[in-house]
Amino acid sequence: MKALVESAQATKTASEVTALLDTETKNRALESMADALTDNAESIVAANAKDMERGRANGTPEPMLDRLMLTADRIAGIAAGVRQVAALPDPVGEIMNEWTTAEGLNIKKVRVPMGVIGMIYEARPNVTVDAASLAFKAGSAILLRGSASAYESNAELVRVLRAALEKQGVTPDAVCLVEDPGHDAVDRMLKLRGLVDLIIPRGGASLIRNAVLNATVPVIETGTGNCHVYIDETADYDMAERIVINAKTQRTGVCNAMETLLVQEDWAKQHLERLLKTMTKKNVELHGDEAAGSYCPGVIPATEDDWANEYLRLAMAVGVVPDVRAAVSHINRYGTRHTECIVTETPENAAYFQKAVDAAVVNVNASTRFTDGFMFGFGAELGISTQKLHARGPMGLREITSYKYLVTGDGQTRA
């Protein structure tokens, strides 16, 4: 078993190699990883079975067991994801800008790999492969720290990926799993400044909070989505209903689902009763302010918690507001800067909403559920950033790179 620091050092050394790989070599290695996953489906499922067994013995809830479970089919799906990453354009080496200075220096701003990406995540073994393939394509090495409850699955997946890399003549340390079993390994990993360039925490609110509050390595905060839909005075009823149903019910456990509905008061007078009745029929539990409650029996009075937190289930908060300004103000107070939506036929209100709402993604007349890498056309993503530094919204290949300036002269010195 390797100590955490040894794993990190190995990953860093590997990152100096992966940074220089050409696109063809990277794609060949990714194809080889995909083949290896399907070829080794049996050993992966066997390792996963140990995690599943322990999970069941520990009384892990069924939805979490389902996320943990690997089958031959699921492994084939994960392998297909790796092939999709191979097919994406290589972000490394892209010239983002180029100019010549007054002194005659040629300056190129060039996209470069991040270096070592540390990933801290929960018991979803698919993240192991998704993150490893994205980081590798972006020229970085990755240090993976999944949940202890998925350790056997992750260890086998990483063994298979590393063997595939080695077969292609690429250093296997491009993909390292934290073997250190200490529960404080995460906290020590968060402080590996100088060895790790970026940490991406992916999982529940407490996992992310721990990373953000304790890391000395730069972190990109992901995930929490207390998303709102605001129905403006001029909104078309059918469109509003369609968007609200989709944003709340199409999938409930995801960060881009709607958690709070805000409705302009005149629209509410005309339509809110009907809309809330529809949501009740869809088994959505309603929490609301007094005005919302007046349109529908059984609305539970909303507390501060209802406005501030995600439900991640068939429940939503409903508030009635005087106008778009009040809606923006509510959203900027309670939102988590993920995805916010206005439904309106008034272009000025749409423009004001998009400008004034502080969020990664601000939608006009479109469901909040579109915020993800595939829907945006980036391909697979490493998470959805809710902070303003570096990357905001879905993080695809480009979002996990850095850049540098290449300055070329013919002997210039500064006067």
Q: Mask 235-274, x = binds its own copies (CB under 8 A)? A: -x-xx--xx-xxx--x------------------------
Q: Per-residue b/e over 221-231, b at no fewer than 16 CB within 10 Å?
A: bbbbbbbbbbb
Q: At what angle do helices 237-249 and 273-281 cross, to 10 degrees?
A: 30
Residue 117 near residue 8, CB atoms below 8 Å: no
Q: Mask 280-319, x = binds its own copies (CB under 8 A)? A: ----------------------------------------
Binding residue for its own copies, selected from 66, 102, 169, 183, defined by CB under 8 A:
102
Q: How far is the CB of 217 from its own copies (least distance, A)?
A: 9
Q: How far is the CB of 265 from its own copies (least distance, A)?
A: 23
Q: How far is the CB of 369 from its own copies (least distance, A)?
A: 4
Whats the size of the chain, residue-wise? 415
370 is a contact residue toward its own copies (CB under 8 A): yes
Q: How far apart are CA 311 and CA 285, in angstroms?
A: 10
Q: What is the 3-state secondary structure (H, E, C) of 169-236?
A: CCCHHHEEECCCCCCCHHHHHCCCECCECEEEEECCHHHHHHHHHHCCCCECCECCCCEEEEECCCCC
38 is a contact residue toward its own copies (CB under 8 A): no
Q: How far apart are CA 222 and CA 214, in angstroms?
A: 15
**One-letter identity of residue 248:** K
Between residues 20 and 300, which has the closer beta carbon with respect to its own copies?
A: 20
Q: How far is the CB of 1 from its own copies (least distance, A)?
A: 27
148 is a contact residue toward its own copies (CB under 8 A): no
Between residues 52 and 240, which has the closer beta carbon with respect to its own copies?
A: 240
Residue 391 near residue 399, CB atoms below 8 Å: yes
User: What residues make contact with its own copies under the rule CB under 8 A?
Assistant: 16, 19-20, 99, 101-103, 105, 107, 114-115, 193, 197-198, 212-213, 216, 218-220, 236, 238-239, 242-243, 245-247, 250, 332, 350, 354-356, 358-367, 369-370, 375-377, 387-390, 392-393, 402-414
